[in-house]
């Protein structure tokens, strides 16, 4: 007979399977809710795109829960997250992303931001994409004090598209030159 402390082999196996099942369930729920939270912050990780027969490219963006337009894209083929900011003069890139995207810092200057005056370095982005819209040779600023992984997509890029907001949808439209 088995002692009560050890339990029967079947009971131990059942307890082990129950523990494994609970662990797997917690892991699955974590991934599920993490995806939901990510979609609330950035509902445009892969933005909806269209191209008309005349070559006009459009990207449709949904506003996130905070009221901002955030979208996935690339800088020199490096996947990034953009926050559209019509109040920003240039595209503002955190230093650690600029290094990965092989951006070359130019001259140092200062910029006035919502967080005060900060040092920035001029640079030029060879290619920046959001959906099927491609921007080339865009003026940008490398901002060493900028934390996080979000790039501010400022007017140095946005001046090359038309944008229209209706309800909670923003349409970016790039007309061929």
Q: Is the pLDDT of residue 63 over 90?
A: yes
143 touches 95 (CB < 8 A): yes
Q: Is the pLDDT of residue 83 over 90?
A: yes
Q: Quick one: tokens of 64?
A: 């996130």
**How much is the mean pLDDT over the chain?**
87
CATH of domain 67-157: 2.40.70.10
For the stretch 142-167, pLDDT in tens is 999 999 999 999 999 999 999 999 99
Half-sphere exposure of 133 (CA within 13 A, CB side): 27
Task: Say what the pLDDT of residue 44 is.
Answer: 86
Confidence of residue 174 (pLDDT cuts 50, 70, 90): very high
Q: Is the pLDDT of residue 129 over 80?
A: yes
How far is 97 from 108, CA to CA, in rounded Å? Answer: 18
How large a percentage of the chain has pLDDT more than 90? 64
Confidence of residue 4 (pLDDT cuts 50, 70, 90): low
Q: Is the pLDDT of residue 71 over 70?
A: yes
Q: Is the pLDDT of residue 30 over 90?
A: no
Q: What are phi and psi of 117, to 5 degrees?
A: -85, 130
Looking at the chain, the number of H-run helices and the number of E-run strands are: 3, 11
Q: Is the pLDDT of residue 94 over 80?
A: yes
- Point out which residues pair with 86 in neighbouring strands: none
Question: Among candidates 135, 137, 149, 138, which has minimal Cα distance to 72?
Answer: 149
Task: Say what the pLDDT of residue 28 is.
Answer: 60
Task: Say what the pLDDT of residue 38 is.
Answer: 47
The DSSP secondary structure of 92-144, one letter per residue, reads: EEEHHHHHHTTPPP--EEEEEETTEEEEEEEEEEEEEEETTEEEEEEEEEEET
Question: Among candidates 144, 147, 86, 157, which has minimal Cα distance to 110?
Answer: 144
Provide the 8-state DSSP code for 161.
S
Domain ranges of the chain: 1-41, 67-157
Q: Is the pLDDT of residue 37 over 50?
A: no
How large a percentage of the chain has pLDDT more than 70? 86
Task: Say what the pLDDT of residue 141 is.
Answer: 97
Higher-confidence residue: 105 or 48? 105
């Amino acid at each position: 007979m088995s002692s009560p402390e050890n339990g029967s082999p079947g009971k131990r196996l059942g307890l082990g399977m129950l523990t494994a099942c609970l662990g797997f369930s917690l892991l699955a729920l974590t991934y599920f809710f993490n995806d939901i939270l990510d979609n609330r912050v950035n509902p445009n990780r892969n933005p909806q795109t269209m191209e008309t027969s005349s070559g006009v490219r459009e990207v449709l963006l949904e506003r996130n829960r905070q009221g901002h337009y955030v979208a996935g894209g690339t800088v020199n083929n490096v996947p990034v997250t953009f926050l559209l900011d019509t109040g920003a003069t240039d595209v503002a890139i955190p230093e650690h992303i600029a290094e990965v995207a092989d951006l070359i810092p130019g001259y140092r200057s200062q910029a006035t931001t919502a967080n005060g005056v900060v040092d920035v370095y001029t640079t030029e982005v060879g290619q920046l994409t959001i959906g099927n819209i491609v921007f080339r040779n865009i003026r940008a600023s490398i901002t060493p004090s900028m934390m996080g992984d979000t790039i501010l997509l400022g007017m140095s890029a946005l001046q090359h598209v038309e944008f229209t907001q209706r309800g909670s949808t923003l349409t970016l439209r790039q007309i061929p030159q």
